[in-house]
Amino acid sequence: MILLVIAASYIALQLKLKGFERDMRVYLLERGVADEEIVSIEAHWSHLPTYPVIVKLSQEPQRGYLFKPDEQRKGHFVLIDSRPPQMLYTDDPLEPKRSLMRDTAYLEAYGFADIQPVQDPDSYVLTADTAPSAPYRDYWAAQNVDPALLYNQTIHTYQYAADHPDIRRKLGLKPDDKLWAYVIVAGDLARGGYLTVETASGERNVGGVYSLKGETADE
């Protein structure tokens, strides 16, 4: 009898964990994460009064991000990691204060510092017609993501003044030259970003558009 109770409890636990894993996948997909970007989702039992769910994403497959089920909202999850995944945004992308906090964390992950917002986000709908047209083709050439995955979605681009000593050295910038960093957001997902350079004399887009690693599309 005891063995039957233990077996039933184990089966119930496994079903509960599988349910959390299924809900976590739906939660990510609803926020714009493509299914192929999800490396793994594992829910675990713990001594804590919750069930930790570990998510691994393709941008950083070696790192697991820790979530827990939201006790107030069924089917929602709360990130309890120290830093959100680079690609995942958890709040309204148009809310300025929260956007600044998220974008700062995103750019810091690439080594940027002294990050300051410049203007309200520029928004447009990405389509098969806009993606290959100027200036959007240059922006998307600097990304790892295929823009076709985001067709018919509204894209929000946030601009920041930022500094990055290594990129400055790589590009041979002078002390008074400016780096402009841009974060690309689709839904709740940070899809990437790019850099432009402005010289001390006011000449903009010197050298074209760079990735957030300071690389050109040909590198």
The string of pLDDT tens digits covering residues 141-164 is 998 888 888 888 889 899 999 999
pLDDT band at 22 (very low <50, low <70, confident <90, very high): very high
* Residues 104 and 194 occupy one common structural domain: yes
* Residues 100 and 147 occupy one common structural domain: yes
For residue 218, pLDDT over 80 is answered with: no
* Residues 106 and 157 occupy one common structural domain: yes
**In this predicted model, which residue has the larger pLDDT, 93 or 136?**
136
* Residues 102 and 74 occupy one common structural domain: no
Q: Which residue in 205, 186, 189, 188 sits closest to 138, CA to CA? A: 205
Mean pLDDT on 190-213: 87
CA–CA gap between residue 57 and residue 39 (Å, rounded): 5
- The answer to whether residues 130 and 136 touch, using CB atoms and an 8 Å cutoff, is yes
* Residues 116 and 188 occupy one common structural domain: yes
Q: What is the DSSP letter of 88?
A: B
Report CA 13 to chain centroid distance, whole Å: 32
In a domain, 204, yes or no: no
Give me the percent of the chain exceeding a pLDDT of 70.
86
* Residues 190 and 132 occupy one common structural domain: yes
Domain that holds residue 25: 2-79
In a domain, 71, yes or no: yes
> How many structural domains are present in the chain?
2
Mean pLDDT on 77-92: 56
* Residues 147 and 175 occupy one common structural domain: yes
* Residues 104 and 55 occupy one common structural domain: no
For residue 203, pLDDT over 90 is answered with: no
Which tokens hold the place of 95?
């809310």
**The predicted structure's pLDDT at residue 42:** 92
**The predicted structure's pLDDT at residue 88:** 47
CA–CA gap between residue 189 and residue 93 (Å, rounded): 9
Tell me the HSE value of 28 on the side-chain side, using a 13 A CA sphere.
Answer: 25
Q: Which of 13-22, 85-94, 176-185 has the lowest mean pLDDT?
A: 85-94
Mean pLDDT on 94-118: 80
- The answer to whether residues 167 and 73 touch, using CB atoms and an 8 Å cutoff, is no
* Residues 109 and 180 occupy one common structural domain: yes
